[in-house]
């Protein structure tokens, strides 16, 4: 599968620094980082966008707040957006602080959504 190895390394570094146990899984045209056996975030090559996007599971409350940002897109594989998931364009994760923000959003949601 084609995905951005550099972006995957950056995500891996952030999650490792948070001391959260995770594993990686290749799926949906990218690399997904799983926390508590649930999708948390990842990198995805999008054919429609023609580039790499950051995928983050942030939940519906954060989704409603964040989707208004210019760098955010609905996560859409089938013509219907997936509830609580968001794509971030490269302009939104270019800087390390920006990537840290989005990965932390995913970690925060994942850890509070443990059932």
- pTM (2 d.p.): 0.90
* pLDDT (tens digit per residue) in 53-80: 999 999 999 999 999 999 999 998 777 8
Mean pLDDT of the chain: 90
- Of 16-20, 46-50, 56-60, 64-68, the poorest mean pLDDT is in 46-50
Instruction: Give the whole-number percent of the chain exceeding pLDDT 70.
Output: 96
Structure-token pair, residue 8: 């995957």
- In CATH terms, the fold of domain 5-112 is 3.90.1150
- Closest of 42, 40, 47 to residue 77, by C-alpha: 47
Residues in the chain: 115
Q: Is the pLDDT of residue 111 over 60?
A: yes
Residue spans of the domains in the chain: they are 5-112
């Amino acid at each position: 599968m084609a995905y951005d190895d550099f972006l995957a390394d950056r995500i891996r570094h952030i999650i490792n620094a948070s001391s959260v146990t995770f594993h990686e899984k290749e799926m949906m045209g990218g690399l997904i980082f799983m926390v508590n056996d649930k999708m948390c975030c990842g990198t995805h090559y999008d054919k429609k966008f023609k580039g790499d996007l950051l995928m983050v599971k942030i939940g519906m409350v954060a989704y409603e707040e964040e989707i208004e940002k210019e760098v955010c897109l609905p996560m859409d594989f089938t013509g219907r957006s997936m509830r609580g998931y968001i794509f971030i364009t490269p302009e939104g994760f270019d800087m390390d602080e920006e990537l840290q923000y989005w990965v932390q959003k995913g970690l925060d949601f994942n850890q509070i959504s443990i059932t």
